Amino acid sequence: MTDFENRRVVAIESLDDSRLDPFRSLKTSNATRDDDLFVVEGALLVERLLASRFETVSVLTHTGWFESPKFELPHDAPVMTLTRPAMTDLVGFSFHQGILACGRRRPWPSMSEIVGGIAEREKTVVICPAIDNPENLGSIARTADALGVAAIVVGKESPDSLSRRVTRVSMGATLRLPILEFADVHEALDELASLGFEFVATLPGEGHVELLEFRRPERVGLLLGREREGLAAEFEARADHKVTISMTPGADSLNVGVAAGVFLYWLRQGGRSLR
C-alpha cells in the first residue's frame, strides 16, 4: 500500500482479491439491475460518476494512470491499481479505457418532486412504456439530457438504466437525468395527468398532426413506442395529441432514438410552426 498525493492507493497483487469482484467479467455480468452496485468505464464516465449524486465505492486503474492523470481521483474512496494486462484479464475483454469505477445506486426523487423542481415554464417528460434495446435507451437519455427533459419514464421490461452498456451509450446522461421505472406505466401517466401534463403520441403514417404544425402544450408527456411494434394501442388511447414526422414515400420508420431527437428538438423550440 502506498500513499500518492495524500490518497491511499492500493496495488492489487492477485485477481482473486474480492475487492475486484464488481469489475469481474463485465460482459457476462452486464445484467446489474438487481445489484446495489454498478460499473462505469473510461475516463469520461468515471469523472461524471464522481460529479454525480451517486456514491463512488471504488476506482480501478492501471499503474501508469498517475503519470498523466486526466482528473482528480477521489480521496474518500479506495483507488486500486492493476497492470494493464491484468485489467484485461479481469474484465474479460480487451480493455483500453484505462480506468473504471464502481458506484452505489440510490433512488431518484418522486415524479412530483422532479417536475416541481424544474424552473422552466415548459416541461417535458419522455415516456417509453416498452423500450427494450439498451442502445436506444442510452441514445434517448443522452438526447433528453441535452434538450432539457425533466425525466424519462420506462416500463418494467426496459434495460437497466445504470447498466454499463446504457450508461456508455448515454455518455453518462443516466447519471444525471432521472429514469423512473414503473411496473405499471399507466400509474405514471395518471400522476403526470394530475400534474397538468398532456400526452403526445409519436406515430407513423397519415391521419395525424404533422410535427411542423404542432404547437406544444406547456407540459408534455412524450409517448415513444417500442422499436419494432410502435406504440401500443392502450397508450395511444391515452394521447391528447397524435403527431407524426412526414417522411419520403416508401421510407421505413425512423429509429426510436432518432425520432425522439427530432420530436424533443421541436418541443425545445416551443413547437412554433415554421410554415
Q: What percent of the chain has pLDDT over 70?
A: 90
Quote the pLDDT of residue 28. 64
Q: Is the dihedral of CA 133, 145, 265, 130 positive or negative?
A: positive
Q: How far is CA 168 from the centre of its chain?
A: 9
pLDDT confidence tier of residue 32, bands split at 50, 70 and 90: low
Separation between Cα atoms, residue 233 and residue 256, nearest integer Å: 17
Separation between Cα atoms, residue 245 and residue 202, nearest integer Å: 8
The model carries a pTM of: 0.89
Mean pLDDT of all residues in 225-252: 86
Does residue 4 sit in helix, strand or coil? Answer: strand
Range with the poorest average pLDDT among 13-22, 23-32, 54-63, 261-270: 23-32
Domains in the chain, CATH or no CATH each: 2-104 (3.30.1330.30), 111-268 (3.40.1280.10)
Residue ranges of E strands in the chain = 2-4, 7-11, 37-41, 55-62, 79-82, 99-104, 123-128, 151-155, 179-182, 198-202, 209-210, 219-223, 241-244
Q: pLDDT tens for residues 142-181?
A: 999 999 999 999 999 899 999 999 999 999 999 999 999 9
Mean pLDDT of all residues in 118-122: 66
pLDDT confidence tier of residue 248, bands split at 50, 70 and 90: confident
Range with the poorest average pLDDT among 4-13, 135-144, 148-157, 252-261: 4-13
| C-alpha cell read off for 121 | 415554464
Q: pLDDT tens for residues 160-171?
A: 999 999 999 999
Most confident of 74-83, 205-214, 233-242: 233-242
Mean pLDDT of all residues in 53-79: 87
Q: pLDDT tens for residues 173-212?
A: 999 999 999 999 999 999 999 999 999 999 887 789 999 8
**pLDDT at 275 > cutoff 50:** no
